[in-house]
Amino acid sequence: MNKLQGRCALVTGASQGFGAAIAESYVAEGASVLLCARGGGLLAEIGDKLRATAREGQHIETCVADVSKTDDVDRLVQTALDRFGRIDVLVNNAGVYGPMGRIDEVDWREWVDATLINILGTVYPCRAVLPAMLRQGRGKIINLSGGGATNPMPRITAYATSKAAVVRFTESLALEVRDARIDVNAVAPGALATRLLDQAIAAGPEKVGQDFHARMIKIRQEGGTPLQRGAELCVYLASSASNGITGRLLSAVWDPWSSLQEHAAELQNSDIYTLRRIVPEDRGQRW
């Protein structure tokens, strides 16, 4: 249980759901963690819970911040540096579905706000931690993706659009900082039974579509993908075991990520686990 011994991590959207599961796994593996969320109530609760399980030398801190606001992010990163002296791992988990419904019917301001949270709330924290990671000569950045990155999501377009953008940004940033030993990856944690799923169900089939609504109900009934599965992938990507694995979109459920280190050299110059365009030849056509 020491895969992250001595490492210092910053996790956004960590007051509940998947973010809390990541933070809990990081603490169990020996990391010191700064948890961030927009609301203080649940954040304080999970902070107290993790402090009770922390071992000697570990530090668990919390900070209320809105990742879509640059001043908040600057304060968050400075808090991590003040408390820990370094930032080894950044997990950009904070995100929202945004408005649900046809693009011509949803509230435009809500659509824009959702993309600000999902895109800028990922990009700016990356930008903010880079100076510290560059000074350290290493770092791990993990950005949360999801089904919206690789599949169309009609009636939830703010989410789908922003998550696709997050993956392409991840791939691009990975190339920018690869020579600095900073690994940047995106994670698809699976169909999670979290508050986002509850929001989609509550919106109703008239807003999210009958098929999507039925699928969400089925996921909730079956329990969804265990949060721990995605958290284990985030532990792997934060650890030295994944050194050199960068610029990838990895599925916690479907990809053999625990053995990727064996294929690091092959992955480096390939488009495996990346976004790409499908051409006719990929589907056996000769157009």
Catalytic positions: 159
Could you tell me which of 167, 91, 181 has the C-alpha nearest to residue 133? Answer: 181
Please tell me the distance from the alpha carbon of residue 60 to that of residue 1, in angstroms, as a whole number.
17
DSSP assignment of 35-101: EEES-HHHHHHHHHHHHHHPPTT--EEEEE--TTSHHHHHHHHHHHHHHHS---EEEE--------S
Give the domain CATH number at 156. 3.40.50.720
211 and 168 both lie in a single domain: no
Please tell me the distance from the alpha carbon of residue 129 to that of residue 77, in angstroms, as a whole number.
7
**Per the domain annotation, does 283 fall within a domain?**
no
**Per the domain annotation, does 3 fall within a domain?**
no
**Per the domain annotation, does 73 fall within a domain?**
yes
203 and 180 both lie in a single domain: no
24 and 54 both lie in a single domain: yes
13 in the Ramachandran plot: left (φ > 0), alpha (ψ -120 to 50) or beta?
left
220 and 232 both lie in a single domain: no
**Per the domain annotation, does 28 fall within a domain?**
yes
Residue 214, domain extent = 191-224
239 and 205 both lie in a single domain: no
Q: Over its length of 287 residues, how does the chain's per-residue pLDDT go in tens digits?
A: 799 999 999 999 999 999 999 999 999 999 999 999 999 999 999 999 999 999 999 999 999 999 999 999 999 999 999 999 999 999 999 999 899 999 999 999 999 999 999 999 999 999 999 999 999 999 999 999 977 788 888 999 999 999 999 999 999 999 999 999 999 999 999 877 677 777 778 888 888 888 888 888 887 888 878 899 999 999 999 999 999 999 999 999 999 999 999 998 899 889 999 998 889 999 999 98
> What pLDDT, on the 0 to 100 scale, is given for residue 47?
97
106 and 130 both lie in a single domain: yes
108 and 89 both lie in a single domain: yes
**Per the domain annotation, does 1 fall within a domain?**
no
- pTM (predicted TM-score): 0.94
> What pLDDT, on the 0 to 100 scale, is given for residue 67?
95
> What pLDDT, on the 0 to 100 scale, is given for residue 208?
85
% helix / strand / coil in the chain, to the nearest 5? Answer: 55, 10, 35
Structural domains counted in the chain: 2
Please tell me the distance from the alpha carbon of residue 70 to that of residue 121, in angstroms, as a whole number.
9
**Per the domain annotation, does 72 fall within a domain?**
yes
Both tokens assigned to 75: 């304060």
> What pLDDT, on the 0 to 100 scale, is given for residue 192?
73
179 and 196 both lie in a single domain: no
> What pLDDT, on the 0 to 100 scale, is given for residue 221?
85
**Per the domain annotation, does 2 fall within a domain?**
no
